[in-house]
Amino acid sequence: MTEYRRLALLVSDTERAQEAAADFRDIADWVPMEEAEAAVVLGGDGFMLQTLHAMLDSDRVIPVYGLNVGTVGFLMNRNRNPDTLLTRIGRAKPVTISPLSMQATTQDGTQHRFCAINEVSLLRETRQTAKIEVSVDGKARIKELVCDGVLLATPAGSTAYNLSADGPILPLDSHLLALTPISAFRPRRWKGAILPDRSRVTFRVNEPNKRPVSAVADQKELRDVAEVSLEIAQDSELTLLFDPGHALDERIVAEQFVV
């Protein structure tokens, strides 16, 4: 059992989360994030991703225990009796995940860097289909993928947009990435690939002026990209805390048996 003496409480600005927060205000001596050993996040998956990205941006990463008052809550724990919260946090199972690092170059030559915990997706911006060259570790595997888009997902994100695009679900400890096309027209039979997480994947946009493409790293969008390179940020780790029996790896397995 791990005891976290200094906890921060982070609450989504949704009405539901704000109402639920009233039950948690008096159960602990909450401290600011800069003083905390761990954080309690009250909201949904979107707010959890927002919180994790804020920690990556600040270079101050601490364990996070999520309580779901959102819709899906895949990254969260069930919102139960507030009086048991501190005990639950002490008994929680830590799960470590690493984000994707994205380096993108736009059509004007400007370079941008973002991180993605779930996935990076490339999407056509207009009615014209996108034409994208797909390379893995410097070797072009598909010279021209004609599609609505393509994405690269981590195991933590494999049950999100990736699954909706018919991509594979990846066990959390698999050390794999899911490379998945979105509405591929040609090659029509290509359903994607499963890659080692040490791989470096590069997307190069063909005919970018005629067929503009945007890149979306979780919640951040960059328009008019020319090239996007992706790899796991091995030096960046995030720790999520889950109740026993409700850890993220169990949820990933369970998702494969939903009918």
- How much is the pLDDT for 114? 95
What gap in Å lies between CA 145 and CA 53, rounded to an integer? 30
Among the CATH numbers 3.20.20.70, 3.90.740.10, 3.30.420.10, 2.60.200.30, which is that of 100-232?
2.60.200.30
**With contact defined as beta carbons under 8 Å apart, do 8 and 32 qualify?**
yes
DSSP the chain: ----SSEEEEE-SSHHHHHHHTTTTTSS----GGG-SEEEEEE-HHHHHHHHHHHHHHT----EEEEE-SS--TTSB----GGGHHHHHHHPEEEEE-PEEEEEEETTS-EEEEEESSEEEEEESSSSPEEEEEEETTEEEEEEEEESEEEEE-TTTTTTHHHHTTPPP--TTS-EEEEEEES--BSTT---EEEETT--EEEEEESTTTS-EEEEETTEEE-SEEEEEEEE-TT--EEEEE-TT--HHHHHHHHTT--
160-211 tens-digit pLDDT:
999 999 999 998 888 999 999 999 999 988 999 999 999 999 999 999 999 9
pLDDT band at residue 1 using 50, 70 and 90 as cut-offs? low
| Mean pLDDT on 81-85 | 89
**With contact defined as beta carbons under 8 Å apart, do 137 and 231 qualify?**
no
What gap in Å lies between CA 160 and CA 111, rounded to an integer? 27
213-233 tens-digit pLDDT:
999 999 899 999 999 999 999
Domain 7-98+237-255: state its class.
alpha beta
What gap in Å lies between CA 203 and CA 189, rounded to an integer? 19
Map out the domains of the chain as residue ranges: 7-98+237-255, 100-232
CA angle 164, 208, 122 (to 5 degrees): 20
Look up residue 112 and give its amino acid: H
pLDDT band at residue 248 using 50, 70 and 90 as cut-offs? confident
Catalytic residue chosen out of the listed positions 26, 45, 108, 197: 45
87-124 tens-digit pLDDT:
999 999 998 999 999 999 999 999 999 999 999 999 99
Reply yes or no on whether the pLDDT at 254 is more than 90. no
198-214 tens-digit pLDDT:
999 999 999 999 999 99
**With contact defined as beta carbons under 8 Å apart, do 40 and 68 qualify?**
no
| Residue 132 in tokens | 């994208």
- Binding-site residue ranges for NAD(+): 45-46, 118-119, 148, 156, 159-164
Neighbours of 26 (CB within 10 A): 9
What gap in Å lies between CA 34 and CA 186, rounded to an integer? 50
What gap in Å lies between CA 47 and CA 25, rounded to an integer? 19
User: Catalytic residue at 45?
Assistant: yes
What is the separation, in whole angstroms, between the first and last Cα of the chain?
36
**With contact defined as beta carbons under 8 Å apart, do 228 and 54 qualify?**
no
- Binding-site residue ranges: 45-46, 118-119, 148, 156, 159-164
| Residue 253 in tokens | 């397995």
